[in-house]
C-alpha cells in the first residue's frame, strides 16, 4: 500500500521497492536511489532531457480508480489497489514521478525493448574497441554486456562515416562510433553557451559535425569527451596514451582558479595521464575547464627543481633548512606567501611568522578575466585559505610594490618566497640582488636562480591538502603521484623551518590539522580525514567587507552583486 508522503515527496514503487522521492525527479534518478540501474545514453543529470536514445525504456503503471466514482479499484487477489500497466514501454528519463507510480525495469517487455535498442545501436557500430580510447569506460560496451542479446544477426555492409575528424584543437571525432545521443550538442548549447555542434543528414546517415567555419574550441570542449557515452568524441591529448583500466584515480582539485572545480587525476606508476572532472553538485556539477586538464604537464618538466641548494651548492635538506633558519633569524625578514599554497601550508607560514615575530607577510595576487563558469577571476586557488587561517587579513595587492620599497629602504634583508616567483610578482633584479632569498619552489625561475637557500617542493598533484574556494568551501585533495627524487613536501619543509626557529615540532598532515583546529575557531571541528569529499562550506560573513574579484560563476554569485 502506498504510504502518505510528505508534501514535497512523492512515493513511487520501483520493482516492488517503495521510495519517497522529491517531486519532479525522473524515473532514472528515482531508480538510482533504490540501486536499480536504468541504462541510458542520451540522458545526463545536468543537461536537458532529449529522450532520443530509447535505452531507458521502462514499464509503468498507475493505481486504478473507478472512472465514475474516483474510488480505488482493489485487486481481490492481493487485496491491494489494482495497477493499470500501460501496454507500451515508456522512457524513464522523460517520465517524472507521480504519486503511486509503479515502475518495472526487469519485465520481459523491458528486456525485449532494451535488446532491440542495443541491436539497432550496434548495427552500424564499427566494433573497433581494440583501438578505441573509450574501451573500459564505454556505456555501449557495458550495456551490450548487461542488456544486449549477445550475438549479431546483421550480415549487411556496415555504414561508413568519417573517422579521425578534428572537431577542434582538443577533440577528435569518430562518427562511426556515434550513437547520436546529442549530449555534446546539448552541452555546447546549454552549459558552454557555444552552439557549434549539430547533426547533418538523415536516418542512419546522420552525422555529428561542427557548423561550417566553426570549431569546437571553447575552453569547455573536453567536457563533451567526458559525457560522450561511446568513443565518438575522444581527447586528442589523451589519444592512444594509455588504457583507462590501468589508471589509478585520485580525487583532486583544479588549482587554476578559486572556482575549485573537483577533479579526478588518472595516473599509472607515478605518471599522470589525464585529469577529468569529478561530480560535485555544489561546485562544478560534472564539468571543468580544458585549461585545468593540462596542468599535469607541469609535473614532469625539465625545469623541475630536484636538489636543495645553499648558495648554489647542493646540500641536504637538513643543511638547507638550518641555513634558511639562520638567514631568517638574522632579522629584517619579509615572507611572500602564496594563494596557491594549501590551507595547512598557509597555517604553518603563519606559525613561522609568529616564531620570527614582526615580519611582513605578502601574498601575490593573480587576477584574470573570469569566464562566468568554472574559471574565476582570482587565479589563486586559495586566497580565502590565507584569510581563514589568519595568514593575511586583506586581499593581496596586484604587485609586491610595498615589499620592493621596503627592500629599497634597506629594511628587508631576507625574503622567504613560498612557491612564488618574486621577479614575476614585481620585484626587480636589483631588488632581488639586495636581499637574501630563501626559496621554496617547484620549478626553476629567476627567484630560484637568485636564492641563497633553495628547497625543492611538490606540485599540487604530489601532495595532499585543502583549498578554500570562492564560495568559502573547504575542499581537500590527495596526492596522485609521488614527487620526484630530491623534492620534499612543502608541509614538511615549513614544519622543519618552524621547529628550527623555536616553534612547535614538525608534524604530518593530521598533526597540522590538530593544531589548525585548535588555532582557528572556524575549523574547530574539522580534521583532514572527516572533511567530506564534497567539501565543507565555511562561514563567509567575517570576510563580507573584502572586495573579492570574482564575478558570477557556476554555483557562485558574488556576495554583493
Evaluate whether 223 touches 254 at the Cβ level (below 8 Å).
no
Binding to other proteins (CB under 8 A): which residues in 118-137? 126, 128-131, 135
Name the helix (H) or strand (E) containing 267: strand 262-268
Nearest to 267 by CA among 296, 287, 284, 247: 247
With contacts defined by CB under 8 A, how many residues of the chain interact with other proteins? 25
Give the one residue of 74, 146, 160, 433 binding other proteins; rule: CB under 8 A: 160
Evaluate whether 93 touches 40 at the Cβ level (below 8 Å).
yes
Evaluate whether 439 touches 462 at the Cβ level (below 8 Å).
no
Evaluate whether 28 touches 43 at the Cβ level (below 8 Å).
yes
Place of cell 569546437: 216
- Kindly tell me which of 157 and 302 has the beta carbon lying closer to other proteins: 157
- Burial class (CB within 10 angstroms; exposed 0-12, middle 13-18, buried 19+) of 69: exposed
Name the CA radius of gyration of the chain, rounded. 29
Part in contact with other proteins (CB under 8 A); list of ranges 39-47, 138-146, 154-162, 396-404:
154-162
- Kindly tell me which of 130 and 358 has the beta carbon lying closer to other proteins: 130
Evaluate whether 64 touches 84 at the Cβ level (below 8 Å).
yes
Rounded to whole angstroms, how far apart are CA atoms 189 and 279?
20
Rounded to whole angstroms, how far apart are CA atoms 181 and 342?
41
Give the nearest distance from C-beta 188 to other proteins in angstroms: 21
Give the nearest distance from C-beta 172 to other proteins in angstroms: 10
- Kindly tell me which of 207 and 448 has the beta carbon lying closer to other proteins: 207
Give the nearest distance from C-beta 137 to other proteins in angstroms: 14
- Kindly tell me which of 128 and 195 has the beta carbon lying closer to other proteins: 128
Give the one residue of 88, 163, 193, 411 binding other proteins; rule: CB under 8 A: 163
Give the nearest distance from C-beta 269 to other proteins in angstroms: 10
Distances (CA, A) of 185 to 160, 208, 227, 491: 22, 9, 11, 44
- Kindly tell me which of 161 and 476 has the beta carbon lying closer to other proteins: 161
Binding to other proteins (CB under 8 A): which residues in 392-431? none
Give the nearest distance from C-beta 115 to other proteins in angstroms: 24
Give the nearest distance from C-beta 142 to other proteins in angstroms: 17
Question: Binding string to other proteins for residues 53 to 92, with x set by CB under 8 A, is what?
Answer: ----------------------------------------
Nearest to 444 by CA among 275, 548, 302, 553: 302
- Kindly tell me which of 162 and 502 has the beta carbon lying closer to other proteins: 162
DSSP line for 174-235: -GGG-----HHHHHHHHTS----EEEES-GGG-EEEEPTT----STTTHHHHHH-SSSSEEE
- Kindly tell me which of 162 and 312 has the beta carbon lying closer to other proteins: 162
Interface with other proteins, residue 159, by CB under 8 A = yes
Strand duo 83-85 + 90-91: pairing: unpaired
Interface with other proteins, residue 300, by CB under 8 A = no
Number of H helices, E strands in the chain: 13, 24
- Kindly tell me which of 11 and 159 has the beta carbon lying closer to other proteins: 159
Give the nearest distance from C-beta 162 to other proteins in angstroms: 5
Binding to other proteins (CB under 8 A): which residues in 196-225? 201, 205, 207
- Which residue stretches of 274-380 are H helix? 317-329, 343-356
Give the one residue of 66, 156, 157, 302 binding other proteins; rule: CB under 8 A: 157
- Kindly tell me which of 122 and 328 has the beta carbon lying closer to other proteins: 122
Rounded to whole angstroms, how far apart are CA atoms 525 and 536?
11
Evaluate whether 474 touches 538 at the Cβ level (below 8 Å).
yes
- Kindly tell me which of 197 and 308 has the beta carbon lying closer to other proteins: 197
- Kindly tell me which of 23 and 243 has the beta carbon lying closer to other proteins: 243
Interface with other proteins, residue 151, by CB under 8 A = no
Give the nearest distance from C-beta 302 to other proteins in angstroms: 20
239-255 in b/e form (b: 16+ CB < 10 A) is eeeeebeebeebbbbbb
Question: Binding string to other proteins for residues 234 to 273, with x set by CB under 8 A, is what?
Answer: -----xxxxx-xx---------------------------
Give the one residue of 23, 80, 164, 300 binding other proteins; rule: CB under 8 A: 164
Give the nearest distance from C-beta 164 to other proteins in angstroms: 7
Question: Binding string to other proteins for residues 172 to 191, with x set by CB under 8 A, is what?
Answer: ---x----------------
Give the nearest distance from C-beta 202 to other proteins in angstroms: 12
Q: Which three cell numbers stand for residue 413?
A: 634583508
Place of cell 560573513: 541
Strand duo 414-418 + 333-337: pairing: parallel
Rounded to whole angstroms, how far apart are CA atoms 295 and 156?
46
Note the residues at the interface with other proteins (CB under 8 A).
126, 128-131, 135, 157-164, 175, 201, 205, 207, 239-243, 245-246
Amino acid at each position: 500500500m502506498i504510504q502518505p508522503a510528505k508534501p514535497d515527496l512523492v512515493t513511487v514503487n520501483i520493482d516492488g521497492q517503495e521510495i519517497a522521492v522529491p517531486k519532479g525527479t525522473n524515473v532514472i534518478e528515482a531508480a538510482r536511489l533504490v540501486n536499480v540501474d536504468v541504462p541510458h545514453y542520451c540522458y545526463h543529470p545536468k543537461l536537458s532531457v532529449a529522450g532520443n536514445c530509447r535505452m531507458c525504456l521502462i514499464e509503468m503503471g498507475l493505481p486504478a480508480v473507478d472512472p465514475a466514482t474516483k474510488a480505488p479499484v482493489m485487486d481481490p487477489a492481493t487485496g491491494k489497489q489494482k495497477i493499470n500497466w500501460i501496454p507500451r514501454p515508456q522512457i524513464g528519463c522523460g517520465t517524472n514521478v507521480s504519486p503511486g507510480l509503479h515502475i518495472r525495469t526487469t519485465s520481459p517487455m523491458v528486456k525485449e525493448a532494451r535488446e532491440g535498442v542495443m541491436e539497432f545501436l550496434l548495427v552500424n557500430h564499427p566494433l573497433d574497441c581494440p583501438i578505441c580510447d573509450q574501451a573500459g569506460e564505454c556505456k555501449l560496451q557495458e550495456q551490450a554486456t548487461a542488456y544486449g542479446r549477445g550475438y549479431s544477426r546483421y550480415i549487411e555492409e556496415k555504414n561508413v562515416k568519417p573517422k579521425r575528424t578534428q572537431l577542434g584543437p582538443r577533440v577528435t571525432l569518430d562518427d562511426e562510433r556515434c550513437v547520436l545521443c546529442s549530449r555534446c550538442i546539448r552541452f555546447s548549447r546549454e552549459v558552454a553557451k557555444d552552439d557549434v555542434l549539430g547533426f547533418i543528414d538523415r536516418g542512419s546517415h546522420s552525422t555529428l559535425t561542427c557548423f561550417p567555419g566553426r570549431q569546437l574550441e571553447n575552453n569547455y570542449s573536453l567536457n563533451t569527451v567526458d559525457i560522450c557515452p561511446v568513443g565518438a568524441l575522444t581527447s586528442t591529448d589523451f589519444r592512444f596514451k594509455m588504457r583507462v583500466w590501468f589508471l589509478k584515480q585520485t580525487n583532486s582539485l583544479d588549482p587554476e582558479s578559486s572556482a575549485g572545480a573537483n577533479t579526478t587525476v588518472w595516473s599509472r606508476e607515478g605518471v599522470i595521464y589525464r585529469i577529468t572532472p569529478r561530480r560535485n553538485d555544489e561546485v562544478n556539477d560534472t564539468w571543468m575547464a580544458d585549461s585545468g586538464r593540462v596542468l599535469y604537464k607541469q609535473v614532469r618538466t625539465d625545469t623541475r627543481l630536484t636538489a636543495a641548494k645553499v648558495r648554489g651548492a647542493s646540500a641536504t635538506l637538513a643543511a638547507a633548512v638550518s641555513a634558511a633558519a639562520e638567514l631568517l633569524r638574522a632579522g629584517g625578514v619579509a615572507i611572500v606567501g602564496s594563494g596557491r599554497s594549501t590551507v595547512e601550508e598557509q597555517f604553518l607560514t603563519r606559525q613561522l611568522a609568529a616564531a620570527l615575530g614582526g615580519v611582513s607577510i605578502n601574498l601575490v595576487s593573480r587576477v584574470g578575466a573570469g569566464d562566468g563558469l568554472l574559471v574565476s577571476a582570482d587565479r589563486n586557488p586559495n586566497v580565502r585559505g590565507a584569510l581563514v587561517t589568519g595568514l593575511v587579513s586583506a586581499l593581496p595587492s596586484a604587485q609586491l610594490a610595498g615589499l620592493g620599497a621596503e627592500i629599497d629602504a634597506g629594511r628587508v634583508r631576507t625574503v622567504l618566497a613560498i612557491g612564488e616567483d618574486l621577479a614575476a610578482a614585481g620585484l626587480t633584479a636589483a631588488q632581488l640582488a639586495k636581499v637574501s632569498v630563501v626559496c621554496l619552489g617547484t620549478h626553476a625561475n629567476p627567484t630560484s636562480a637568485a636564492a641563497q637557500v633553495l628547497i625543492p617542493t611538490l606540485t599540487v598533484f604530489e601532495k595532499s591538502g585543502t583549498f578554500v574556494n570562492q564560495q568559502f568551501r573547504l575542499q581537500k585533495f590527495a596526492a596522485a603521484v609521488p614527487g620526484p627524487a630530491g623534492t620534499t613536501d612543502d608541509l614538511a619543509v615549513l614544519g622543519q623551518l618552524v621547529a628550527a626557529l623555536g616553534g612547535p615540532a614538525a608534524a604530518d598532515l593530521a598533526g597540522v590539522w590538530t593544531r589548525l583546529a585548535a588555532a582557528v575557531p572556524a575549523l574547530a571541528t574539522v580534521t583532514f580525514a572527516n572533511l567530506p569529499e564534497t567539501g565543507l562550506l565555511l562561514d563567509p560573513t567575517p570576510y563580507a567587507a573584502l572586495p573579492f574579484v570574482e564575478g558570477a560563476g557556476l554555483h557562485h554569485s558574488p556576495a554583493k552583486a
